[in-house]
Structure 1
């Protein structure tokens, strides 16, 4: 079976894991945690990074540090993985779901401004959602498939309405927006995931990125149970959201090869795009001129059945999968405030992802291409 996306563990991962075992630093304190923080900040062009136990816990920490709390609303594109919405819910808040832009599959800034202008109002010193009275507390753009949102436009809207921006950059390590890396795209805080299917993995884990030292110190403080000093004193309700040294050891080995891993993702994506160009009933993932995607996943947009193609490929020993079902169609969020979803509804069930592990061989990719062409003929 040619798998969809598996880790490339051909570097120093095993050696660094052995260092953890030999040193007995296997928990949430150890040299690899510090090294991962430094390498992640460097790779993202951010001043600071705080490693976390997952991308989801990283989002929750970032939202709390940005001031999101009980009863608030956070603007979120509906076309995202459910972890984005769950992180909001874990803060006691709710997502305000909005449609995405057809040219990027990321939060539509034109729609965002219109909704804030017409469906929210200043009341009692806060921006409030007219229909529910809830405070609008933040904007969470999602960098879909490793593709940055239009952050200059979103940032301008956020400044106009006095809202912080917390970016779900889970799969966007290596992405660029108008030449700028994730840590310099304009979000107040951004969050990576290092899940096993990400281009750079620590097996599990994530990291919060930011440039404000005070805010990032708060993120770090919250992630370590809000403990003050070496005694068992805690100054607020915190979280145990720390990454372990064992996870960080794998992540450090991966980050040492991050440029090569991202380049492999882009090469695989470009090969698919070239191979399927002009094929009837097949479209490519959007490529806005202002973004350079990290190309986390590769795939197609079909006019025919995704399930049928996946079944035919599996019969040939090739794994392919559909992509995210939007949040407004998920049971826990069916009653969340939401816009019309013309773009998300029109695209989500037509997306199929294809094998794109960074060590996918040319022969394996050719086999996938031939099988797709045969299945769609």
Structure 2
């Protein structure tokens, strides 16, 4: 148990032993491969926007790595999720079941569709949506009509379920998908943080009807800004590319658009960066697993609870997270570490505590509230010099 400044200092010293002196960020990008060369090649080709060979190559690399049949690159993860929700049939006035313990992009994306968020609780071990909480909600609050699910209280159609794999820790996605299938609710996995995470050897994001990834500057790999929709459904993949390319009907020179689309396609410059990063991904994941192992040893010695992948799953350990004993202890730890140049941060504020989503239906969120008061993220970058040793 962390109780005093001496044990706080031990945590600071341990982080410096991994990441070195000076300011230690939470997660930084690493560019030690072909990133510069691929960017130069892209500039020399004059194809720097959303039309270019690197976009297609990056999509193919992501599809091959995750095992998804199709991948469609977007400008960021939020755009990917917005498009995926629309592709799944989410419309204005519908409801989407998700978790309140999430980054705001999850809820913002569903709000763009005009849908209403409904929040169910998370599990304390995965930090992701609880299948048990989802089951309780469906059995008590939902009725089936014509092969679709409707909220008994509001009368609204429940058009989708969007669980998230928090910090790369796989949630109980197989159980969630099975429950939703029984109620005719499509699952869109928010896998923004879980590139390189697996459930029983199957990559996260390949269980639902659609899934989305993020390549923001702080993710395991980065394209600066970028996202991806992945799916095994060919028709959805074709529609995804069309929707995110301003819904333009292909033609050598005519400008004909057959629906309201979005300018969401990833530029070739970003994709060039992504192609180089994918070449380094196996090294990144191996090093991050070693960092997580060292954290596990330290936390066990200190009596600190560390969030770890449950049995039968593999985490990419994008961000390591500890669970402290109280809100007071959490705040003291955050102040101490950040004041000494070691960046730590609390988990996100619950969506129900933000003005935009405070009136959304929820199930009490007991675990979510408990975790909000206790979870702290630790520095989790690939350490300087580690790539040469991997």
TM-score by length of 1: 0.92
Is contact 1:199-1:358 (8 Å) kept?
Answer: no
What does 1:168-179 align with in structure 2 at a 5 Å threshold? Answer: 168-179=190-201
Distance in 1 (CA, whole Å) between partners of 2:337 and 2:132 is 39
For residue 357 of structure 1, what is the aligned residue in structure 2? 381
1:183 Cα deviation after fit: 4.6
Is contact 2:144-2:183 (8 Å) kept?
Answer: no
Task: Choose the corresponding residue for 2:102, options 62, 80, 101.
Answer: 80
Is contact 2:142-2:150 (8 Å) kept?
Answer: yes
Aligned length: 360
For residue 338 of structure 2, what is the aligned residue in structure 1? 314
1:306 Cα deviation after fit: 2.4
Task: Choose the corresponding residue for 1:233, options 253, 256, 266.
Answer: 256
Is contact 1:105-1:286 (8 Å) kept?
Answer: no
1:261 aligns with 2:284: yes
Is contact 1:138-1:164 (8 Å) kept?
Answer: yes
1:361 Cα deviation after fit: 6.0
Is contact 1:325-1:349 (8 Å) kept?
Answer: no
Q: SS at the partner of 2:202?
A: coil
Residue 165 to residue 125, structure 1, CA distance change in 2 (3 Å): closer
Which ranges of structure 2 fall in alignment gaps of 5 or more residues?
A: 1-22
Distance in 2 (CA, whole Å) between partners of 1:65 and 1:204 is 22
1:312 Cα deviation after fit: 1.8
Is contact 1:27-1:245 (8 Å) kept?
Answer: yes
1:278 Cα deviation after fit: 4.0
1:159 Cα deviation after fit: 1.3
What does 1:54-93 align with in structure 2 at a 5 Å threshold? Answer: 54-93=76-115
Over the aligned positions, Cα root-mean-square deviation in angstroms equals 1.5
1:317 Cα deviation after fit: 2.3
Task: Choose the corresponding residue for 1:218, options 214, 221, 239.
Answer: 239
For residue 149 of structure 2, what is the aligned residue in structure 1? 127
1:134 Cα deviation after fit: 1.1
For residue 290 of structure 1, what is the aligned residue in structure 2? 312
CA deviation map 1:226-269 (0-9, x unaligned): 11122211111111111001111111110111111111221111
TM-score by length of 2: 0.89
Distance in 2 (CA, whole Å) between partners of 1:24 and 1:191 is 29
What does 1:148-159 align with in structure 2 at a 5 Å threshold? Answer: 148-159=170-181
Q: SS at the partner of 2:213?
A: strand
